[in-house]
Amino acid sequence: MLTQAVESYLAVRRATGFRFKSEGSLLQDFAAFSAASGKHYVCSETALEWAGSAHSIFQRARRLGQVIRFARYIRAEDQRHEQPTPVYGPEKRSRPIPYIFSRDGIQRFLQATSQSGYRTLRRDTYRTFFALLACTGLRVSEAIHLRYEDITQDGLVIRCSKFRKSRLVPLHDTAQAALESYLVLRRPYAPFDDHVFISLRRKPLRIGDVETAFHTAAKKVGITSNAGQPRPTPHSFRHTFAVRALETCPDGRDRITQHMLALSTYLGHSQIANTYWYLSATPDLMSTIADSCQDFFTGVRS
């Protein structure tokens, strides 16, 4: 009975657009565990025992969270199902404070990238790759998967990236020109592969390749990761882009709302809360918000 209820729940969630691959496997495993224990309804004790078999506290919390959401759904039809208490705490680790490049820092980093390694296409590839991340805020995976046909006069077409969403990312004229200059060098190198960025193996870049190139250039310009401090990664360019965009946010509640919504859409966030996170995660922005609040309540600004 519980197995059938799980399959019905998964069918509903998937019909509304959720993939539910790993989540579905977890719930099916829970249903099998419950059946082996002689339980035909969600039982809090059984759920805690099943979730507790995971290795880490976050895995236990994630497992239990799946059961809680399933129980909340199925209890609407049958109150014999129990809803467990989230005794293992939050399912996700708190997001770390992002590393934000200074404007000068980006220039120094790109200069170092253009001088790293042998005098081959590699230098132009990574200089263009990281510059594109910095001026567009793309995810690393989105830049890696770019193909020739994705470069249009209106900008970059980002196809079915994270959350299976596609979007158009406008390019400044200077960025468009730099990308076209790079392609002049890149096209003859691997003429039968239409990925924009390729490695010296004449194959699409891999995440590991990008991370290695990033840390090599970062070390060269003195950007290091210290304990207790924000950790620089290739994704830091996206963080920096988002923060700089928020710094240009106009005054006024309605204008701020419109600005945040536009930025969230541009970045491809599934929830606008992910965009607002930058406000609380960036000390400079928090300081600006605090100053604005103080000015408002003291009557300095209306």
Is 269 an annotated catalytic residue?
A: yes
Contact indicator for 245, 263 with CB cutoff of 8 Å: yes
Please tell me the distance from the alpha carbon of residue 236 to that of residue 85, in angstroms, as a whole number. 37
CA quadruple 139, 142, 148, 152: dihedral sign: negative
Q: How far from the centroid of its chain's Cα atoms is residue 296's Cα?
A: 34
Is 278 an annotated catalytic residue?
A: yes
The catalytically annotated residue of 19, 21, 72, 162 is 162
Is 238 an annotated catalytic residue?
A: yes
**Helix, coil or strand: residue 204:** strand
The catalytically annotated residue of 62, 81, 186, 269 is 269
Give the pair of three-digit tokens for residue 262.
């536009």
The catalytically annotated residue of 182, 238, 239, 266 is 238
The conformation of residue 52, written as its DSSP 8-state character, comes to T
Please tell me the distance from the alpha carbon of residue 257 to that of residue 121, in angstroms, as a whole number. 43
SS (H, E, C) 132-181: HHHHHCCCHHHHHCCEHHHEECCEEEECCCHHHCCEEECCCHHHHHHHHH
Is 189 an annotated catalytic residue?
A: no
C-beta neighbour count of 67 within 10 angstroms: 27
Is 259 an annotated catalytic residue?
A: no
The catalytically annotated residue of 235, 244, 259, 276 is 235
The catalytically annotated residue of 13, 62, 139, 145 is 139
Is 235 an annotated catalytic residue?
A: yes
Find residue 195's DSSP bridge partners.
147
- Residues catalogued as catalytic: 139, 162, 235, 238, 269, 278
